[in-house]
Structure 1
Amino acid sequence: MTNIVLIALDTQRADHLGCYGYHRDTSPNLDALAAAGVVFERCYAPNIPTHPSFTTLFSGKEAITHDIVNIGGGVPIADGVRLLPEILSDAGYVTAAVDNMNRHFSRGFEHYHNYQWDRSDPTVLRKAETVTNLALPAIEEVINDPRPFFLFLHYWDPHTPYLPPPGYEELYTDGERDPYDQDNHSMDEAWTWEPFKWYFHDWMPGVTDAEHVVSLYDGEIRYMDSYLAKVFAALEPVRDDTIVVITADHGEVLNEQLGYFDHHGLYEGNIHIPLIMSWPGKLPAGRRVPGMVQNLDVSQTLLDLVGIPQVQGMEGVSLLPSIYGVRERNYETVYFSEATWQVKRAVRTDRWKLIRAIEPDPHGRPMKELFDLAADPGEQVNLAEDRPDVVAELEALLDAWLEKRLAETGRKSDPVADQGACATSIGKPKPDDVVGAGAVPLRERTGRAASIPDPSELNSGR
């Protein structure tokens, strides 16, 4: 009898965890789990943001197959696509989730525990605490069931708004820096981007120091990590019989790209996600897989580990050969899509990444961006005009892959292009308020805390 616990950390960049080399001690409990398990150093989310990525994770199918290419776009999951909890339920598992996405994500769960945040304090959102308070009784419930269990826990740290509780809010901030210094212009572009400025105004009004906001993101991670320790402790009685998987749906652009403090853009900060697997005595401890894999591969791998034949036509590649050292990667080339705030596809090799826009970029970026990731891992220098030979080579790969996928799925056109962008703005304008430098700080405000936007809010500007 083998149990599975899948823990998703929404908006978690891989490179802000200690086990992925981050310089701050943001994740001691996750790092301990990683040291006792398998770390996939270059796991990618091929379809972002949240709804496409989780659908890919649970279905083992790429977005052209499952048809979920954006957030709240109004297109249902494709007929015949079955999800991991449904498959495990049919195989005799008790299935439980602590999650609030609902939609098709609740399919296959016998117990689906929903949650809402306490927003009574405008300066704090206790997201990890809320999830853990439901997770602990859910763990007890499935442990006491005679059947093997599949448990999905969806943490929303460190998704915006970054409002960690006291003790974590100031953990990484620099006490010598004034986050409201009006001579600091590092947040100017964030405050002048119309689609997001009113949402930012709800949870960090007046902040001018982008590094301060990054420190709040890191505080969210450390806060979440402290509550994950309680989950790991609750699983100890069945730990030898339980596979624990840690991953994310996507990362976050912080202050290194346009698109500040959100997860649009097919840059490494958004698409490079953590993937950690631990099963004491069964999976090798301390194994690090250096090559490229995808979250597309996770469901296939879990079914292989628990011995359930996969008859769903999953498109991922089992990670078992990489886990046990037979190979170092699943892919030489990975293909990406997004269609929420902007509509783009990308292709990545070990060295190069080409990002190609289908619709004009809302930040005014060029229709093609080429990055030499070996020389420029931060993707700061667009070489598309300087290296047309590389652009042509990567475009040929992308076009051939897309043609192949459309043929495999019987489609005549790309659903990313067909569905297009579905988001225009978030946050409600307050015409009498100052936005950006000089705004009334959050601690001087009253009312309710800002919250994670519902997908229905993303087109509020229409």
Structure 2
Amino acid sequence: MNRLLDRREFLKLSGLLSLSYAIPRFGMVPRASQPTPGGQNVLLVVFDALSAHQTSLYGYHRQTMPNLDQLAERAIVYHNHFAGGNFTTPGTASLLTGTLPWTHRAINYNGTVDEPYVKKNIFRAFQNHYRIAYSHNPLVNTLLFQFTGDLDEFIPRERFFLASDGFIQTLFNADEDIATVSWARTIKRKEEGYAYSLFLTHLYEQYREGKVANFKPLFPRGLPNTGGDNYFLLEQAIDGIGNRLIAVPQPFFGYFHFLPPHYPYKTHRDFYGKFERDGWKPVDKPDDLFSQKKSTKTLLKWRIWYDEYLLYVDREFRRLFDYLEGSGLLENTWVVFTSDHGEMFERGISGHITPVLHQPVIRVPLLIFEPGRETREDVYTPTSAIDLLPTLLQVTGQEIPDWVEGVVLPPIAPTSPDPERSLYAVQAKHNEKYAPLTRATTTIVKGRHKLLYFFGYDDLVGRERIELYDLEEDPEELNDLYLARKEIGAELLEELKAKLTEVNKPYL
């Protein structure tokens, strides 16, 4: 593996380095391919780490998503929609399997679903559709790789990077793993400052810098990236996906999971500084036991950067929506806008890598755009990410598998929603995958109440912590009512512990 490139390989590389790079832009809108009679498309659009708590559609003080506000007048808008977990792996796996994290077991960072769920996924459920998927996020791609047997088209994440190793996968698709490692060892400079080939490393760095140089002025805080030199523009992915969708066979099922507004919050210059001097400050909340010790000043700064990043996301989603509508595709397509989890800037915590399951990290937007709908409908009944899979199967006239844990969403469901239905979210990042949950945070939402149950953490006195909130009276979760409403708290805790006993049984 540690060898010099031969002359033929070097010439190939040199040719690649000289290629110009152009971002496709929406021009004249062509008509989409003709749909199969009777078959409807489904387009599931996920923006990573998008919190309903900071979305203007749901009452946030700043107008962070004005385009979404407008589009909502033609959608079913869900106001109390909960992710399955508080970071990418469990949250996305719940979307893709219709099951909760303690069932699919993708609970660890960059984890995978349990083997039975490799064949129990949303793509297999839409086997009569052309199934296509893409994500910037490497954790999402870990899951998508598990489901490639049920995908007709899996777009490599490097396809929409400004500079990456993507052409290595293209040239050596039969030996992608070996080729990628060889490329990294031969060309890319290590953290220690060396590589096997100093000459080619210099060429690569020049090539990479040439790719991104023209775009740097557009992003005052730096180019969006997934880490390292994997820079991307959301515009490029939006344009590429839009152009691809009008060409693929119909009916199709598309899953597109974009990294923004996930950290790092690198907004476009059009939105840079929009909120920096507005003078607004959020509700002050005391530091949590699991505080990261972030100062109020730091949290305010990250919140502003995130809010300005939302403006960028908002514009790009509107561009995609308008383009697909102009192509005629939306006449026969259900469009879903949602997220895998949220983000928080309070209680001394920034981001979502935390044991806590407060509203900002698990309450996410959900809008469903039905073909032909011109009026808005608001749904306040609590709903879950696991409900999307059965709902999308229902609206396209397909059978709902018995392994799905979610229910068909209102108002699409043929019966009225159960006001006392229990919803759950799970955080068990440091628990072993195939073991009972002994170090985790779980929550149960039932009606207006939400109970949080922390257990197994070293920081906890007595190894557990319980909190109860009335989300109608106290949407900011400032007043813990566990002692004041003992009967309700005890009932919810008993139900949650019974559920934990049930899901732990296979791993005892």
Instruction: Please give the range of the TM-score, normalised by the shorter of the 2 chains.
Output: 0.7 to 0.9
Q: Is the 8 A contact 2:87 2:352 kept in 1?
A: no
Give runs of aligned pairs for residues 22-421 of structure 1, distance below 5 A.
22-73=60-111, 76-80=113-117, 81-88=119-126, 90-100=127-137, 101-106=140-145, 107=147, 108-109=150-151, 110-115=153-158, 116=161, 123-126=221-224, 130-174=233-277, 208-236=297-325, 237=327, 238-255=329-346, 257-264=347-354, 265-281=356-372, 285-311=375-401, 313-319=403-409, 321-323=410-412, 326-328=415-417, 332-340=421-429, 343-360=440-457, 367-406=465-504, 411-413=506-508
- Which residue does 1:7 correspond to in 2? 45
Whole-angstrom CA distance in 2 between matches of 1:270 and 1:325? 31
- Larger mean CA deviation between 162-171 and 212-221 belongs to 162-171
Q: CA deviation at 1:290?
A: 1.2
Cα pair distance change 1:329/1:87, threshold 3 Å: same
- String of CA shifts for 1:85-123, please: whole Å, max 9, x gaps: 2332x2142423244331122423313230447787682
Q: CA deviation at 1:312?
A: 5.2
What RMSD over aligned residues (CA atoms) do the two structures have, in Å? 3.3
Q: CA deviation at 1:220?
A: 0.7
The DSSP-based 3-state class of the residue aligned with 1:47 is coil
What TM-score does the superposition give when structure 2 sets the normalisation length? 0.68
Q: CA deviation at 1:296?
A: 0.3
Q: CA deviation at 1:83?
A: 1.5
Q: CA deviation at 1:297?
A: 0.6
Q: Is the 8 A contact 1:239 1:280 kept in 2?
A: yes
- Larger mean CA deviation between 285-294 and 137-146 belongs to 137-146
Q: Is the 8 A contact 1:36 1:280 kept in 2?
A: no
Whole-angstrom CA distance in 2 between matches of 1:411 and 1:324? 32
Cα pair distance change 1:147/1:386, threshold 3 Å: closer
Whole-angstrom CA distance in 1 between matches of 2:285 and 2:359? 21
Q: CA deviation at 1:143?
A: 2.0
The one-letter code sitting in structure 2 at the alignment partner of 1:39 is V
Whole-angstrom CA distance in 1 between matches of 2:70 and 2:442? 36
- String of CA shifts for 1:217-244, please: whole Å, max 9, x gaps: 1101001111112211221111111111
Q: CA deviation at 1:367?
A: 1.7
Q: Is the 8 A contact 2:84 2:425 kept in 1?
A: yes
- Which residue does 1:427 correspond to in 2? none
Whole-angstrom CA distance in 2 between matches of 1:48 and 1:31? 25
Q: Is the 8 A contact 1:124 1:165 kept in 2?
A: no
Structure 2's unaligned 5+ residue stretches are 1-38, 164-211, 226-230, 431-438
Cα pair distance change 1:147/1:377, threshold 3 Å: closer
Whole-angstrom CA distance in 1 between matches of 2:53 and 2:297? 24
Q: Is the 8 A contact 1:45 1:295 kept in 2?
A: yes
Whole-angstrom CA distance in 1 between matches of 2:446 and 2:400? 29
